[in-house]
Amino acid sequence: DQQVKQNSPSLSVQEGRISILNCDYTNSMFDYFLWYKKYPAEGPTFLISISSIKDKNEDGRFTVFLNKSAKHLSLHIVPSQPGDSAVYFCAATSGTYKYIFGTGTRLKVLA
């Protein structure tokens, strides 16, 4: 039972344009969401998070949007840079210390 889903396994975007990565979840108890970035053969690094009491959180080029009614969140990267090429994971938790991750989306930013 995949509670957190990233339905797009890959995405290609031109440098300077916007990258939009999507994530859906099924568990309505989730109240905190995170995005991680992962390079090959390395551990994921934290990017940005959002609490369920908000619908938007921004940090530099990264913005996360949360639509609770649709159980959907998205990560926007503007402008996209070649160094952003990586696998992006969304994760969710319900305050029980369990972090459930999605299957990941491989982003390729083309120069």
Min dist CB 5 to other proteins, Å, is 9
List contacts with other proteins (CB under 8 A). Answer: 6, 32, 34, 36, 41-46, 49, 89, 91, 93, 95, 97-104
Rg, the chain, Cα only: 13
102, β-bridge pairs: none
Give the nearer residue to other proteins in terms of CB position, either 69 or 96: 96
Structure-derived torsion over alpha carbons of residues 111, 105, 59, 109, reported in degrees to the nearest 10: 0
Give the nearer residue to other proteins in terms of CB position, either 48 or 65: 48
